[in-house]
Structure formats: C-alpha cells, structure tokens
Structure 1
Amino acid sequence: METDLSQARIGVAAKKKNAYLGKRILQHKQLYLMLLPCLVFFVIFSYIPMGGLILAFKNYQFNKGIMASPWVGLTYFKAFFSDYQSGKLIRNTLAISSIKVFLGLPFPILLALMFNEIKHRKFRGMMQSISYLPHFLSWVIVVGLMQRVLAPDTGLLNEAIRFFGGDGSTFFMMESKYFYSLMFGSHIWQSIGWDSIIYLAAMASINPELHEAAKMDGANKWHEIWHITLPGIRLTISILFILSLGSILQAGFDQIYLMRTPGNMELADILDTYIIRVGLQNGQYGYATAVGLMQSVIGLVLVITANRASKKFFDESIW
C-alpha cells in the first residue's frame, strides 16, 4: 500500500514538473525559437556524425559499407600505441595545447581588464573592433602574412634586423627553435580580442556599488581589480578553463598544418595532422577514426575530472 502511494506521489510530482516546464516554454517561446537554430546546428553537425564513430571498431570496406564491414575490436587502438610515432605525436600535441591553454589564459583577461577601464565609449569601441578583427581572418591569411613578414630576404623583420646591423637572413619559419614562439604569438594575436568578449561581459555584470564603496574606503584601481573585478569573474574563468581542457589533445589543425615546414616537423607533427594524413591521404578511415575517438574520450575525462576537482576545492563547477 505504501509503495503504491509513493509511486502515485512520484507520478503526481512528475506531472506537475512537466506542466510547469511546458508553461515556462510557452511563456518564453520567443527565446526558445531563437535557440532552435543553434540546437538544430549541433544535432546535424555534432550528434548525427557521432554515428560514424563505429568506424573505429570496423575494417571499413567500400563495397560493403559501414554496417556490413567486419568488426576488428580494439585493433586500431593497439596499432596506434604500438606505432613508433605515437609518443612523439602525443608529446607534440600536449606541448602545443598546454602552451595555448595555460600560457594563453591570462591574455584575454588582461585585455578585458584594459577595455573595462576605458571610459571613452567611442575609443573603447574602436579598440575592441580592432582587437576582434583578426578572429575573422582564416589561418591561411594569417600564416600567409607571417610568411611575408618573416621571409629570409624580403621580410619586414629581417629588413629591420639588417637596418640595425644584423645579419637579416634568418628563415624563422624553417627553424624549429622559433616554432613555439611563432605559434603562440600568432594564436594570441588571432584569438585574444574575441576571447575577451566573455570576460568583458562578466565584468559588466559586477555591481557598480562595490567599486563605489571601494573608492570611498580609499582603494585605488589595482585594489579594485584585485579584490572586486577578478573575484567577480572567477566563475567565468573557471568554466572557460575547464571547457578548454576538453581540447587538450586537439592543438588546432589549421594553424599547425599551415605552419609546418621541413625544419620544424619534429615539433609540428601532431595528432590532428596525423589523422588527416592517415585518414584522407592513406585511406585508413577506421584507424583515423580510432585516433580521433581517443582524443575526444581523453578530453571528456579531463573535463569531468577538472569539473569535480573545481567543485570540491573551490565550490564552482559547470554542473
């Protein structure tokens, strides 16, 4: 009898919850309609293609198709970790991703702090537009500009070196010792303005009364930034950092592929370029899918782990 009553109560609670949810959806139907194209985009381009992950466990044959191709189990995963290149590929990918994630984290925050302190609206808008512009340039254009600026004979940088009495014939794109600097510098230049938008929006939501109270207590700008602004965007920083860990094994195919030269190949050969090479060029679709699946699974595990650690130690998390 008690069991029946409990089930009835659960059923009533579920109906009330569904009714409340339906009422909320009708109340805010315009917002849900605006969200619909985004949901459709992710369903079509993110969730439906996940069905192709079955290739990681099959020996794909064109004449049989995906479903009729024979199963091979974990053969491709074993083959990758047995490959002599796997250690170098993982090491290079982790090195580039770590530089972007950890060293690149403060730059958009600092830019947002600077924008937040500019009181002249037109000047701030102009500077923001200038900083956003590189985001809309493809890596083909960015790397093309780099090649022109860093060319050994006619490049702007080498001409400046010659002007000050130096040699001025260095092929920066070809030497591996300049690879990380060029990679990180171009990444920051292209992404810093766009990445600062979220931090700037978070700063705008901070109660201005806190700044006024700090000024009355004699705090200067540095004190306001350190004790009010940064704590006010701490949750945003934590969430974006946790999400960025999901791509720790994806160092950015476009940029690295275009920056690769025979001189820096030892550092620039990463998992993303390897997947394209074995998948599209060599036709090993199942093997390439297995490597890509490994990247995604490790990224998911890192996000879940970092989220739990953040919730435990800082009481802040995504979910």
Structure 2
Amino acid sequence: MHSYVIKRLLSAILVMWAVATLVFFAMRLIPADPAQVVLGDYASQELIEAFRHKMGLDLPILQQYRSFLVGVLQGDFGRSMVTGRPVAEQIFTLFPYTLSLALASLLIGSAIGIPLGVITAIRRNTIVDSLGRLFALAGFSFPAFYLAVILLIVFSVNLKWFPVVHSVSQEASLLEHLHKLVLPALSLGLIQASFIARLTRSAMLETLSQDYVRTAHAKGLPRRVVFYKHALRNVLIPVVTAMGLYTGQILGGAVLTETVFSRPGLGKLLVGAISQRDYTLIQSGVLMFAFVVLSVNLLVDLSYALFDPRVKYD
C-alpha cells in the first residue's frame, strides 16, 4: 500500500505542475494588459511601466514562469495585483467557506441520493421508481444557479426563513454559520442527489442480477440483509468513485452559488479576480481547486478497501 500511495503522490505532483503551467501561460494569452486594467484607462504610461516593473510583468516570460514555480514551492503565491495583499492570506481566509459549502452539499447529496437510488432499484417499475427517476431528471435539468435563485426567492424573500444576503463574519457563531449555509448547500446538494440517485439505481439493478445475490435469496437470508449488507456494499464502490470525480463540478458550482447568495468563498474571489485580470490571484485559486480535487480522488481510491476487502493496493 505504501508504494501505491507514493506512486499516486508522485502522479499528483506531476498533475499539479501541469495545471500550474497551463494556468500560467493561459493567463499570459489574455489580450488585456493587467496593469492597464488595474490602474484604469487614464493612467499615465510612466505609472503603468512602474506597476509592471513592481509586479515583474516586464521580465521575460520564462523568467516569470521560473519565479512563479519557485514561489509556489516555497509557499509564496505572491501579492494581489489589485489589493496588494498576500494571495495566500486571502485564499486561506476564504477557503474554509468554500470547503464547508462543498462538504455540506456532498453530505446532502449522499444522504438523499444513495437511499433514493436503492429504493427505486428495489421497487423497479413502480410509482416509487417513476417518482425517483423524475426527481433525477429534474435535477439534471436545473442549473445550480437557477435552483439557487428559486430557493432564495421562496425561502428568503417570500417565507423569510433565511436572510437574503448570506455573508458571514468570522466572529459569527457556529449556529449562524450553519443557518446561512443551508440554502447554498441545498442548491448544490439537490442537484448532486439526483446524480447520485441515478447512478446508485443503475449500479444496484446490475448488482441485484448477480449470482451471489440470487444465492443469498436462495439461502433464505432476509431481504433487508441481502439488499443493504451484500448488494449495497458493492454498489458503493462506483458511487464513491463518481462522487470523487464530481468534486470538480461541486467546486465549479460553488462559484455561481457563492455569487448568487453573496457568500464569501474562493469561487466569488476568483470571479472578481478574473474580471480584474489579477494574474497572481487567479493562478493560486486554480491551484487550490486542483489540489482539493486531487486530494479527494486520492482519498476515494484509498477508501475502496473499506467497501470491498478483496481490493489490494499492490
């Protein structure tokens, strides 16, 4: 297992380097001059040149690339071109908000999607199955930002159960954090639940047709034991794999969700950085998203042995 983890870590490092390289050069292909965008249209040429020299934008592209990689390896992501604050400080201040949103939506999606997928598979071609498939289809049809707007109108504007603006200060209590997390997490979690339910149903139907399931029924085991102890355990492997791959979409959905709910987070920070051509902030934010996705997929791979004892990491 140790050799497997080492190989995965080495491959993750290569992927991070590829992402960093791609993002760095992609930023340089944007036609707009970041110095002009930050300073405004009426800035003098001398001021623009001074800003470019201060931020190292006047250096050769390969030298900028080398300085960027060296800074990342040392944990120095540079300073924001707009605010002048250290980028690492801004990212690690807002990252807990995005992480809590992603984890809460993942919890909601799993808590709804897995049981719903199992029930619809067990009661195939019944009214329960039809309603479950309708829910899954509706979830695929609704964009995350559209569902967020509907939830905001219904529960914040009309029912007034939740605040319209979901900004949370660091001094707020845990209860206030959770209260303002409900609607954003629900808007992402319901869509993820439809995806998980559909995948669980398909995997469960395939598993129920296996020989070992028919043997378990023939031995007289209770249906609950056959479904939830024997069949579901094998179903969880593809489901957990898909949930790990879906992490990137959750983070992508968090960008729009945080914007709709005016909630602090990395997604909202990156939207502002892109509009202001803040190279250093964009590069570091994308690297943080890539790191989270790679970490989640590594944990998913290592969790297979928990669901299937036959899995060996050799």
TM-score if structure 1 supplies the norm length?
A: 0.62
When structure 1 is superposed on structure 2, of 185-194 and 55-64 the one drifting more is 55-64
In structure 2, the residue matched to 1:279 is 274
**Which structure has more RCO (C-alpha within 8 Å, separation ≥ 6)?**
2
Higher CA-based Rg: 1
In structure 2, the residue matched to 1:77 is 77
In structure 1, the residue matched to 2:130 is 125
Per-residue CA deviation, residues 224-243 of structure 1 (Å, 9 max, x unaligned), is 22222212313213423443
Gaps of 5+ in 1: 1-46, 159-168, 261-267
In structure 2, the residue matched to 1:254 is 256
In structure 2, the residue matched to 1:54 is 25
TM-score if structure 2 supplies the norm length?
A: 0.63
Say how many residue pairs are matched: 251
Cα distance in 2 between the residues matched to 1:239 and 1:110? 17
Asked whether the 8 Å contact 2:97–2:265 carries over to 1, the reply is: yes
Deviation (angstroms), 1:272: 1.6
Alignment of 1:234 with 2:236, yes or no, is yes
Cα distance in 2 between the residues matched to 1:60 and 1:48? 21
Cα distance in 2 between the residues matched to 1:143 and 1:249? 15
Deviation (angstroms), 1:258: 0.9
Residue number among 157, 164, 176 corresponding to 1:173 in the alignment:
164
- Percentage of matched positions with identical amino acids: 10
Partner-residue secondary structure (3-state), 2:79: helix
Partner-residue secondary structure (3-state), 1:105: helix
Query: What pairs up with 1:177-196 in 2 under 5 angstroms?
Result: 177=176, 178-196=179-197
C-alpha distance 185-51 of structure 1, shift in aligned 2 (>3 A): closer
In structure 1, the residue matched to 2:15 is none
C-alpha distance 259-200 of structure 1, shift in aligned 2 (>3 A): same
When structure 1 is superposed on structure 2, of 122-131 and 57-66 the one drifting more is 57-66
C-alpha distance 111-98 of structure 1, shift in aligned 2 (>3 A): same
Asked whether the 8 Å contact 2:196–2:243 carries over to 1, the reply is: no
C-alpha distance 285-314 of structure 1, shift in aligned 2 (>3 A): farther
Partner-residue secondary structure (3-state), 1:219: coil
Aligned CA-pair RMSD: 4.2
Per-residue CA deviation, residues 108-164 of structure 1 (Å, 9 max, x unaligned), is 111101101224357623541243213212234312322321244xx1xx3xxxxxx
Residue number among 95, 112, 115 corresponding to 1:107 in the alignment:
112
Deviation (angstroms), 1:277: 0.7
Cα distance in 2 between the residues matched to 1:306 and 1:130? 26
Gaps of 5+ in 2: 1-17, 37-51, 169-175
